[in-house]
Amino acid sequence: MRLIAIDLDGTLLNTESIISPENRAAIKKALVSDCIVTICTGRATFDVKELLNDLDIPIIAANGGTVHDFNYKLLSRTLMDREAGQKAAQYLTDHHIYFEVYTDDALLSPNDGKQKLEAELDIIASANSDADKDTLWQGALTQFKQFGIKPVQNIQDVFNGEENIYKLLCFSFDLDKLEQAKAELSTYPKLALTSSGKHIIEILPDMSGKGRALKELAKHYGIDKKDIYAIGDSPNDFSMFEEAGHRIAMGNAINELKQMSTFITKSNDENGVAYFINQLLENEYC
């Protein structure tokens, strides 16, 4: 039996944030061909369920924060230390960096977050005549189009409650500000940092990560590392690649991921996931 782990954004999803009919058909074909297919993503479980629709497959969500079996049965969760998360949230608030908090039921977002990002983009664009304002804004809109996003008056109130917290995601057009935040937050105990894009920092529990969760799911099914196929494009896929015997980089993947890959498929807008799966099932992958 083989385990195929697929990232979402930049991988299974095209630039319209849609699973193409070709990719959907390839996954269904794999499921009847002695393969288990799992989604391994930074997105929340409820968001993934909405995207998958009729596909009932295991889900690794929130960068390993939750691991679900078929029929969305919860196998494990890795929660953020509340005090550590609150400290990180305070830093982001103090430095005017937009962020979301991932819980079981919602992606909590500041109710004025969209307006503040628009204002930040105006400042960045006015200082850089080469900036493609429309393309940059489309990147931000991906966050606001996610299923389950919930604007709140005071986002930090969540740390005073009892909701499970899996990760924080921050987004900024100001790359210098992000680099400063990365340098500071990387020193915080009980937390780890990763990224799914140039303008994003994801803050996780230090025991979380796609790789740890993928290893756990493979053990659950008794699948050896040599039979794990990981498909991804971004920095948060590094740990997933490390746990896979076969590492498939998208055509649009970052160079560092391509360098550690065993196969480079087509881009996410060229149905790269379907292309690889069909190569695998037709014994043309080697």
Tokens, residue 268? 């996410």
Respond yes or no: is residue 7 known to be catalytic. Answer: yes
Rounded to whole angstroms, how far apart are CA atoms 200 and 37? 27
Of 217, 219, 214, 218, the C-alpha closest to 231 is: 214
Q: How far is CA 282 from CA 33, 71, 187, 285, in A?
A: 11, 28, 47, 8
**Sequence-ordered list of residues with C-beta below 8 angstroms from that of 135, at least 6 positions apart, any chain:** none
Long-range contacts of 149-155 (CB under 8 A, 24+ apart): 149/100, 149/106, 149/107, 149/109, 150/106, 150/107, 150/108, 150/109, 151/109, 151/110, 151/111, 151/113, 152/108, 152/109, 152/110, 152/111, 153/111, 155/89, 155/93, 155/99, 155/101, 155/108, 155/109, 155/110
The residue behind tokens 């014994």 is 283
Tokens, residue 2? 């083989």
Tokens, residue 70? 């078929």
| Side-chain-side CA neighbours of residue 121 (13 Å) | 20
**Sequence-ordered list of residues with C-beta below 8 angstroms from that of 61, at least 6 positions apart, any chain:** 39, 41, 42, 43, 44, 45, 47, 48, 68, 166
Are the CB atoms for 268 and 12 separated by under 8 Å?
yes
Tokens, residue 48? 């993934």
Catalytic residue among 7, 47, 227, 233: 7
Q: Is 190 in a helix, a strand, or coil?
A: coil
Show which residues are catalytic: 7
